[in-house]
Amino acid sequence: MKSHTLLMPLDMHLHLRDGVMLETVAPLSSYSFSGAVIMPNLVPPVTSKEELVAYKERILNATGNRVNHEDELDFEMMDMDYFEPMMTLFYQHYPREFLEDVRDEIFAIKLYPAGITTNSEGGVSSFDLDMMRPTLEAMAALEIPLLIHGETEGFVMDREAEFMPIYGMLAKHFPNLKIVMEHITTKSAVEMLDKYPNLYATITLHHLLITLDDVAGGMLRPHLFCKPIAKRPEDREALLSAALDAHPKVMFGSDSAPHPKDKKEACGCAAGVFTAPIALQVLCELFDRHGKLENLQAFVSDNAQNIYGLCPEFKEVTLVERPFTVPSHYGTVVPMFAGETIGWSIEEVM
Ligand code: DOR
Ligand code: ZN
């Protein structure tokens, strides 16, 4: 049976939510990933050091890394299942003193244009350089990366492409700021990578697999509806080439975004595809099908380590080419490929 081992897989864009949802979904990522970049679009968004530290603690509890605040750490469990939540703050025009104070607790800052997606109402309403300069200069000086949901308010299929000049402007004016174009979906975003040395990107699993046709070309499939919406075949091809060839500026970020089934199968469907429990298996299947399994390690870990200078906790995940039938739901959440059989399974995590 064909098998493939991945070392320290990293999910560089993950939504874990809070409360019961956090308890449901966090173990599904911590089982097979060494760490993940945690998105701050809670209600209310994570904008203070206290909220961020408390949220990280709740994540560690939910992943089984901590029994509770007072108890001793369970080292046996930590060895097996340690998972590093790399915390982000929700972008606001933060003063430098605040950023200095929070620096050691955060991995990056995530910027949302106001209202562009789930819980982003408090985001940025204009990309005014003078307004943003103090914060972005401080971030560059403190080496805090800026992660961006890059979409305008234009026509839904054009939103990401229309955002490219804003990426270009920010990359040019803040050459020492590391900027990550999150969950890119277009050929134009892939092309930006070679134009600016300080621009990087994450790519999701679902955007490597689907186009708008899969979402809305036949019967509407709400569990594939996400932001940015899946685009055209040529866009998917460009994303696939970048991922399969392990473009060194591209990292895997699942954007796994759980919503309860009743919020997806609704008139007014929430945006987000839930891929956390099947991401590594399907990536193996995809890279294998294209004869590029040897490049998967770079896409799911090494590139991120190089780009961010990370040293993740040791974790070795062995996958095998054995069919796995995806559960119809995890708690209240329906995963991608629910009820379908995928070609690869996780054999062992060490
Ligand atoms: O589809 C999405 N869901 N895109 C995002 O940018 C946010 C995410 C969510 O939080 O649900
Ligand atoms: Zn996201």
d(CA 184, CA 150): 8
Per-residue model confidence (pLDDT) at position 64 = 79
What pTM value is reported for the model? Answer: 0.95
Catalytic residue, from 255, 262, 288, 302: name it: 255
Kindly give the distance from the C-alpha atom of residue 73 to the centroid of ligand 1, in angstroms, as a whole number.
33
Mutation probe of ligand 1 site: the residue of 43, 226, 274 with most atoms within 8 A of C-beta: 226
Contact of 208 with 189, CB cutoff 8 Å? no
Atom of ligand 1 nearest to the CA of 258: 11
Per-residue model confidence (pLDDT) at position 68 = 43
Mutation probe of ligand 1 site: the residue of 41, 111, 215 with most atoms within 8 A of C-beta: 41
| Residues that place a CB less than 5 A from ion ligand 2 | 255
Per-residue model confidence (pLDDT) at position 81 = 66
Kindly give the distance from the C-alpha atom of residue 60 to the centroid of ligand 1, in angstroms, as a whole number.
22
Mutation probe of ligand 1 site: the residue of 255, 269, 336 with most atoms within 8 A of C-beta: 255
As a whole number of Å, the end-to-end CA separation of the chain is 20
Contact of 148 with 111, CB cutoff 8 Å? yes
Dmax of the chain from CA atoms?
A: 58
Kindly give the distance from the C-alpha atom of residue 13 to the centroid of ligand 2, in angstroms, as a whole number.
6
Query: Residue 202: nearest ligand to its CA?
Result: 2
Per-residue model confidence (pLDDT) at position 116 = 87
**Residue of the nearest CA to atom 10 in ligand 1?**
118
Q: Is 255 part of the annotated catalytic residue set? A: yes
d(CA 28, CA 32): 7
Cα-to-chain-centroid distance, residue 62: 19
List the pLDDT tens digit at each of the 350 positions of the chain.
999 999 999 999 999 999 999 999 999 999 999 999 999 999 999 999 999 999 999 999 999 765 444 444 444 444 456 899 999 999 999 999 999 999 999 999 999 999 988 898 989 999 999 999 999 999 999 999 999 999 999 999 999 999 999 999 999 999 999 999 999 999 999 999 999 999 999 999 999 999 999 999 999 999 999 999 999 999 999 999 999 999 999 999 999 999 999 999 999 999 999 999 999 999 999 999 999 999 999 999 999 999 999 999 899 999 999 999 999 999 999 999 999 999 999 999 99
Atom of ligand 1 nearest to the CA of 116: 6
**Tokens describing residue 278:** 């099947």
Sign of the dihedral through C-alpha 151, 15, 226, 43: negative
d(CA 200, CA 348): 31
Domain regions of the chain by residue span:
3-349
User: What homologous superfamily does CATH list for 3-349?
Assistant: Metal-dependent hydrolases (3.20.20.140)
Atom of ligand 1 nearest to the CA of 273: 1
Contact of 121 with 164, CB cutoff 8 Å? no
**Is 117 a pocket residue for ligand 1 (Cβ < 6 Å)?**
yes
**Is 275 a pocket residue for ligand 1 (Cβ < 6 Å)?**
no
Per-residue model confidence (pLDDT) at position 99 = 98
Bin 275: left if φ > 0, else alpha if -120 < ψ < 50, else beta: alpha
**Residue of the nearest CA to atom 2 in ligand 1?**
272
Contact of 87 with 107, CB cutoff 8 Å? yes
Atom of ligand 1 nearest to the CA of 182: 6
What's the angle, vertex CA 80, arms to CA 53 and CA 252, rounded to 5? 65
> What's the 3-state SS for the chain?
CCEEEEECCEEEEECCCCHHHHHHHHHHHHCCCCEEEECCCCCCCCCCHHHHHHHHHHHHHHHCCCCCCCCCCCHHHHHHHCCEEEEEEECCCCCHHHHHHHHHHCCEEEECECCCCCCCCCCECCCCHHHHHHHHHHHHHCCCCEEECCCCCCCCCCHHHHHHHHHHHHHHHCCCCCEEECCCCCHHHHHHCCCCCCEEEEECCHHHHCCHHHHHHCCCCHHHCCCCCCCCHHHHHHHHHHHHCCCCCEEECCCECCCCHHHHCCCCCCCCECCHHHHHHHHHHHHHHCCCHHHHHHHHHHHHHHHHCCCCCCCEEEEECCCEECCCCECCECCCCCCCEECCEEEEEC
Per-residue model confidence (pLDDT) at position 143 = 98
Per-residue model confidence (pLDDT) at position 77 = 47
